[in-house]
Structure 1
């Protein structure tokens, strides 16, 4: 059996340790049963915690899949090293929800809320792609039938619902609002204040209340230094990307270009 304590001794954060331990429990089950096990849907940071540890374990192999190439939320399929897993055997599936609604009328939050309203947990649901008149929902395959049978409305709209193949998933491009500004330092509170048009003091209080993630990692330090390309998620407000860091101005401030996802 594997030595879970030895493999995780470097992880001090309780939530991070919980994710990795859940994954290692799946590994133990694979080694005992010689079967296939799948994790919950993880964000990129949680995936990055698990992969280096999985790479240290003999006699298993794994796949990280989310239904399409650039999926944000993905599962780890763990199986004996002598096995091969085809796409048809992936334990996740996709559902198409369509109806008489436009993209601006229903958002990602509306579809996620409708699915969670069926009593499902967030970690069992992958990405939700939203377009004009439809949305694609990726979920654990065992739950797809349940969603098909029970999801009848999203917000006020009646819907049609059907299974689809991953090849039929819609291509969605994110829309951005470009914000140009300058900051005295590349601190988290400064960039968030510029990106969302709020004061640093107000932003700092929210950061201290565990409302912010940088590249999916929880950060509660207003002074945290950001780098070009960082993705910042602000609970209740949205997401921004520190797209470009330019030269300093005459007043010794950094010119920045921020993309706010809309």
Structure 2
């Protein structure tokens, strides 16, 4: 079993154990298992542990093919999954958009304030004045009943078919830079154009996530493919490690989302 763990980071062990338990459950019961919404790193871990061969397979769906957070369906090889098997619903939030605006933190905070786990909600989409979010179908009635405010703003909800999902507005750009090391504080300093000390403060204050998990250690070692986010300062993906300079600094390529 240790040979499985060596391919992942130590902090991912608990989730790996959970995935292996789901796999065992599907094999024993010979019936599908539906998970909560998972972030892309969790999806990647499941994909690598379940694989395409063997008695079980896995598919993902989060409302659209482009969704970031998706539910996983782990199933026996006889099963052919359909969209409805993922039990995902799309809500649109109606609010007085002429007078106020809603932000992602406002919406997420209000959803979490209902006492539900983050895994019960998928992507939150803000597109011009439209605000939508995906949720697990098993809690849709609870959400409709209790989500009457976002922050201090009165809102109403309506369910929408998936073809009415709003287009995500994201502006990524690629940049190349040189960093003294692959430490988290060094990479954050590079993509935010702030000092290393400022980056360390952000990390220690709990404002930084790597692969959607909060990391409070500035010396955390980043790896190719990692997604880093700093609350209020944007998000970046470590696209490529392009080798070292003569002075032993790393040349890296980052995708930046502002």
TM-score, normalised on structure 2? 0.78
Whole-angstrom CA distance in 2 between matches of 1:127 and 1:255: 33
Residue of structure 1 equivalent to 2:125: 129
Instruction: Give the alignment partner of residue 138 of structure 2, picking from 139, 142, 166.
Output: 142
Instruction: Give the alignment partner of residue 20 of structure 1, picking from 13, 16, 20.
Output: 16
The Cα shift of 1:226 comes to 6.6
Whole-angstrom CA distance in 1 between matches of 2:223 and 2:214: 13
Instruction: Give the alignment partner of residue 76 of structure 1, picking from 49, 72, 76.
Output: 72
Task: Check conservation: 1:118, 1:150, Cα contact below 8 A.
Answer: yes
Task: Check conservation: 1:245, 1:256, Cα contact below 8 A.
Answer: yes
Between the two proteins, the alignment pairs up a number of residues equal to: 254
Instruction: Give the alignment partner of residue 204 of structure 1, picking from 200, 206, 210.
Output: 200
The Cα shift of 1:184 comes to 5.6
Matches within 5 A, 1:1-262: 5=1, 8-10=4-6, 13=9, 15-55=11-51, 58-101=54-97, 105-175=101-171, 183=178, 185=180, 187=182, 188-204=184-200, 206-207=202-203, 212-216=208-212, 220=217, 222=219, 224=221, 231-235=227-231, 237-241=233-237, 261-262=257-258
Q: Which moved more, 1:94-103 or 1:212-221?
A: 212-221
The Cα shift of 1:201 comes to 2.6
Cα RMSD, aligned residues only: 3.9
Query: 1:66/1:103 Cα in 2 relative to 1: closer, same or farther (>3 Å)?
Result: farther
Whole-angstrom CA distance in 1 between matches of 2:232 and 2:13: 26
Whole-angstrom CA distance in 2 between matches of 1:91 and 1:18: 25
Gaps of 5+ in 1: none
The Cα shift of 1:87 comes to 1.1
The Cα shift of 1:205 comes to 5.2
The Cα shift of 1:24 comes to 2.4
Task: Check conservation: 2:211, 2:227, Cα contact below 8 A.
Answer: yes
Q: Which moved more, 1:20-29 or 1:114-123?
A: 20-29
Query: 1:161/1:28 Cα in 2 relative to 1: closer, same or farther (>3 Å)?
Result: same
Task: Check conservation: 1:41, 1:125, Cα contact below 8 A.
Answer: yes
